[in-house]
Chain A
């Protein structure tokens, strides 16, 4: 019983750590990406970990200072991995009125 409680506690702690990591990653996305381009281009993609790694590498080459790479990568994989469904298309408002 003690071992089971310990296990549950560990899983809960891991979940909390993951959630914290993802929140950190989301903040990092806003900080490191959102100043130069919209984040919609990120959130409309569903990519493998390898492809997100490559995208982060490209952005670093292009001058982005990514301070918390581990967090942003985990955030992207957890929320926009290639196992996640494609979000429904977002329509803009009518700019002709």
Chain B
């Protein structure tokens, strides 16, 4: 798709850049969120929104590389091409007429937690709320690929959306390998938590890549291209790559030593209480949070109320599905007054656990450092 000039940008997108920058920012349909950017909208969920297993649409974080497009759902088509026997042009009705699957899956921005890395690096300074868990519903991608007759020699599938870059900004095109494209849980979602996708979440069609970072979950999908190689564009060749070998903090990593992110780290954090909360000696307080492990299941979460000197197992929530986070809770009855540092640490089915400090990396991805949350116990 052609790039926009600044003037065309105003006409073609669903929000105007300068208007959005005036005064308090409000995004229709969203509760108060942490604003990292207003145009395009990049909004972080507050920790207390993340205490439930399913994150409601009105409090789900928003990440956009390019301004969201104006959408005419009735005229929408997703085109398949590349190494296929048959080029398809599917409407939303066509996709809804196919067998539908509901997947519970956690969506997390690869840069969630970037704001906590030191030295700092450019990018959205997410703290911990660039994450949410939802039910996504739509046809399996593999059914679309089989319908199109994808070649057995193909190794990747490229996805592009209707969002259009300004100037020479690269197109946001992402590729996933065929093994993930054909996975039974990889779907093209038309619904999020039982309703049509909200526009900021990709209405009318979004790719769902369970267990993988949000960059792969392309929104406003209108092009599916079956290919032998991953897309050579910026968002596969340069962005969303992670060092093969741990980098020296603040140091550079050669491009050839970076590899495409696939999957996510094991991680957990507290949804409540909040940082700086006051609790009473001898009174029980519920420490609640979430743990997740990308393509792996969370098998345990341990909690410490003494800065990591001692750990005890938290109780995991009953919802235990692949690709979806697990809630945890821990009843804590503080015995002593004063400042306490609470920590939580998840482990997953691949045997991974969280480090004290996540590996620093130039783009600031996968920050899964053990959370340290300060609370004050009053006597």
Contacts and interface: CB of A to CB of B under 8 A. Distances in A.
Nearest to B28: A95
Given A51-B121, A92-B33, A96-B30, A38 B43 contact: no
Contacts of A96: 29-31, 58
B121 A86 contact: no
A36 B17 contact: yes
Nearest to B10: A35
Contact of B32 (A41, A47, A86, A92): A92
Nearest to A64: B167
A62 B120 contact: no
Given A46-B120, A47-B120, A38 B38 contact: yes
Interface residues of B, number: 42
Interface string B33-44: 111111110111
Contacts of A39: 21
Contact of B30 (A38, A41, A48, A95): A95
Given A61-B168, A90-B34, A51 B18 contact: no
A72 B5 CA distance: 22
Given A92-B25, A93-B24, A96-B58, A55 B122 contact: yes
Contacts of B167: 36, 62-64
A38 B25 CA distance: 11
A90 B29 contact: no
B334 to A, nearest CB: 27
Interface string B320-341: 0000000000000000000000
A90 B125 CA distance: 12
Contact of A95 (B27, B34, B38, B170): B27
Interface in B259-293: none
Given A92-B24, A95-B26, A95-B28, A35 B33 contact: no
A82 interface: yes
A82 B120 contact: yes
A61 B6 CA distance: 16
A37 B122 contact: no
A91 interface: yes
Interface in A43-97: 44-48, 51, 54-55, 61-64, 82, 86, 89-96
A38 B58 CA distance: 22
Contact of A45 (B27, B119, B120): B120
Interface string A14-43: 000000000000000000001111111100
20 contacts: A34-B18, A35-B6, A36-B166, A40-B35, A40-B36, A41-B36, A41-B42, A47-B120, A48-B119, A48-B120, A51-B122, A61-B168, A62-B167, A62-B168, A82-B119, A91-B34, A91-B35, A92-B25, A95-B58, A96-B30
Interface of A: 34-41, 44-48, 51, 54-55, 61-64, 82, 86, 89-96
The 6 closest A-B pairs by CB, nearest first: A63-B167, A63-B168, A93-B26, A41-B37, A38-B38, A38-B39
